[in-house]
Amino acid sequence: MSKTKIFSIVFFLAAVVIAYFFVRSISDDIQREKKIKREEARVIEKLKLIRSGLIAYQRANGQYTSDWDKLINFIDSGSFYITERSETIIPRDYGGDSVIINVDTLGTVGVYDSLYADLPNFQLKNLPYKPGTQTKFNIFADKIVKGSVKVDVFEVSDPNPINPKRREDDNEDALRVGSKTEVTTAGNWE
């Protein structure tokens, strides 16, 4: 066998090995990205559920809570009032109108039944935890001054993001809903 044939076979085998590792590296990156997207979608869904509970808690109690036990107890045993609002407009002789607003309470409905009853496999005791882990979400609730008005704010964030890009700068870009400094209930993915 000539040297040229030997070199050709060696270079061909080296090219095949390099191509295999190159394709495998790309495939691994694609699989890692799919896993990150899948896990982040689960975290986002959980954050949406927590947001619903916190908004309900604030409407019933006048403020948000940063205590998981209070939130879970409220969702488990709290209730919303079902009301009906009607208006009566009485024309006045001088051209203006007088409006009488009637609000009737028709009954109550449980918070759990209203927000979570139609969700399959939902377990209230797991609400504070990241999906598939025993790590609790970070929760914050307080009042801040905006302009000259005190307003309620909350923030729930992922303490340990799976995405390495979100872990930079002390989890500054971690998935979260609400804000510690702004009046919002939106998530940073929206």
What pLDDT score does 14 carry?
A: 86
What pLDDT score does 53 carry?
A: 92
Between residues 27 and 72, the one the model is more confident about: 72
CA distance 55 to 64: 7
pLDDT winner (highest mean) among 7-11, 31-35, 61-65, 157-161: 61-65
Q: Is the pLDDT of residue 170 over 70?
A: no
The answer to the question of residue 183 being in a domain is no
The answer to the question of residue 160 being in a domain is yes
The answer to the question of residue 106 being in a domain is yes
CB 92 within 8 A of CB 98: yes
What pLDDT score does 89 carry?
A: 87
Could you list the residue range(s) of the whole structural domain that residue 173 is in? 40-178
Q: Angle of helix 3-61 relative to helix 68-77, nearest 10 degrees? A: 70
The answer to the question of residue 7 being in a domain is no
What pLDDT score does 54 carry?
A: 92
According to DSSP, the residues that pair with 109 across neighbouring strands are 80
The answer to the question of residue 55 being in a domain is yes
Determine the average pLDDT of the residues in 62-77.
90
Q: Is the pLDDT of residue 173 over 80?
A: no
Give residue 171's pLDDT band: very low, low, confident or very high (50, 70, 90).
Answer: low
The answer to the question of residue 2 being in a domain is no
| Cα angle 113, 159, 67; round to 5 | 45
CA 189 to chain centre: 9
CB 35 within 8 A of CB 180: no
The answer to the question of residue 156 being in a domain is yes
What pLDDT score does 110 carry?
A: 84
Structure tokens at 85: 């609002």
Determine the average pLDDT of the residues in 171-185.
82
pLDDT tens-digit map of 97-123: 888 888 888 888 888 888 888 888 888
Instruction: Give the chain's domain count.
Output: 1
According to DSSP, the residues that pair with 136 across neighbouring strands are 129
The answer to the question of residue 125 being in a domain is yes
Q: What is the mean pLDDT of the chain?
A: 85
